[in-house]
Amino acid sequence: MSTTSSGLWVAYGTEGKVVGTIRKCDEGYVSTIAGADASLGSYPTMEVAKSALHTHLPPGSDWPQFREH
């Protein structure tokens, strides 16, 4: 039995609020802050994409919880 990855991870901040998303694409992983008109960019690994998203959250924000959808 195999599992297929959807290629979409939703980032949840405190109180379960959605703070952003990461999508798998041909170039790597694309991070986007919730409500933004444009992405932050494409990153070579999931860990770099997570760090980029966290860096763009308000100062003092906890590390988000990432869940695959």
Distances 60 to 8, 38, 54 between C-alpha atoms, Å: 25, 23, 10
pLDDT of residue 2: 46
pLDDT of residue 66: 97
Q: Is residue 24 classed as helix, strand or coil in its secondary structure?
A: strand
pLDDT of residue 24: 97
Instruction: Please say whether the beta carbons of 23 and 8 come within 8 A.
Output: yes
pLDDT of residue 1: 53
